[in-house]
Amino acid sequence: AAMAWAARGGEPSSLPAAVADAVLSKYASLPKNGKPQAHEYTSLAGFALTDDLTPDAPPVVVALGTGTKCLGADRRCSEGLALADSHAEVLARRALVLYMYDEIDRLVAAGRTRALEKPRVSIFRPERSEKTSVGGAIARDRTRPWCSLRPGVRVHMYVSQSPCGDASIFRARTSDDATNASTAVPRVNKRAKTAANLGAGSTGAKLLTGAADGPGATDAEFGVGAQRPGAARLKPGRGARTSCMSCSDKMCKWNALGLQGELLSSVVQSPVRISSVVVAAPEGGAEGGAEG
């Protein structure tokens, strides 16, 4: 089953299932190398595109990522030679950025290709440079971004479990919920299960230093009480404390500033935002709910 939170309305109800099927099918088609064994566990994230030019076509998967690891703050490399955050959501987004670079290359190449060759259309389109007034003279501003996401192209994200951080704050289960879950759900979302074991609404993600609002506002941990939504959090983990923000916070940043990142912002005119997020849930797992 799949639950979806859409950043904007108007999406067909079958879209979450289509996005989930597309990502899972693409992952299943990959070689076994690097995939977890039967006794191992990992998280999967992916990005898929839909295009109004082909409304009947299934979502096209363009980026995948798996992983649950993150380096402790003491192991981060100041030269940038070690990947600090290897959570699936972050790796999938890095793959998506690489795909965007390829699409911009395709857009540039299309401008040099003969019309008869009809290359595949890029997800980006060129934008005319704006004219600005410099000392009373009109000149074209060539420092501004020169392309944008094509109208009708939408980016959808799939994750196989709730992202760490605020998205993993679950409603406390009642005794009836626990009874139903133990008898009817053999497989449980790992983070939902962790929340149930540690206490009401526990994410395991640590509050960012200074995020608490004054004395007495420190976030509850390990079942002392419900965690407060809306606070900036670091990645959870049993080892050394990390300095990486939680996936929930990073996804919030991506949707505010765009998935393209700072470097591509000098080329892409408008932020590339997520149209919908699809989160997998086991049967009966949705009853736990989410807070905030």
Distance CA 55, CA 59 (A): 9
Which stretches within the chain are classed as H helix?
15-29, 88-110, 175-184, 190-198, 247-257, 261-264
The answer to whether 160 touches 277, Cβ cutoff 8 Å, is no
pLDDT at position 220: 41
Percent of the chain with pLDDT over 70: 61
Of 42-46, 110-114, 231-235, least confident by mean pLDDT is 110-114
At residue 103, the 3 state secondary structure works out as: helix
Amino acid identity at 29: S
Read off the pLDDT of residues 200-233 as tens digits, 9 standing for 90 and up: 344 445 555 555 444 333 344 434 445 677 777 7
> Please, what is the average pLDDT of the chain?
74
Nearest partner of 48 among 14, 29, 65, 23, judged by Cα? 23
pLDDT, position 109: 83
Active site positions, annotated = 89
Q: Please state the φ and ψ torsions of residue 51, each to the nearest 5 degrees.
A: -135, 130
> What integer pLDDT is reported at residue 89 of this predicted model?
96
Give the model confidence (pLDDT) of 234-257 as tens digits: 777 666 677 788 899 999 999 999
- Nearest 5°: the CA angle 286, 288, 292 is 100
Q: Determine the pLDDT at residue 120.
A: 73
87, 43 contact by CB (below 8 A): yes
- The confidence score (pLDDT) of residue 185 equals 43
Rounded distance between C-alpha atoms, residue 228 and residue 248, angstroms:
14
Report whether pLDDT(140) > 50. no
Q: What is the pLDDT of residue 282?
A: 54
pLDDT at 1: 37
**For residue 75, what pLDDT is reported?**
72
Position 224 scores a pLDDT of 40
pLDDT of residue 178: 53
**pLDDT computed for residue 99 by the predictor:** 97
Among 5-19, 39-53, 166-180, the range of highest mean pLDDT: 39-53
- What is the average pLDDT across 264-270? 91
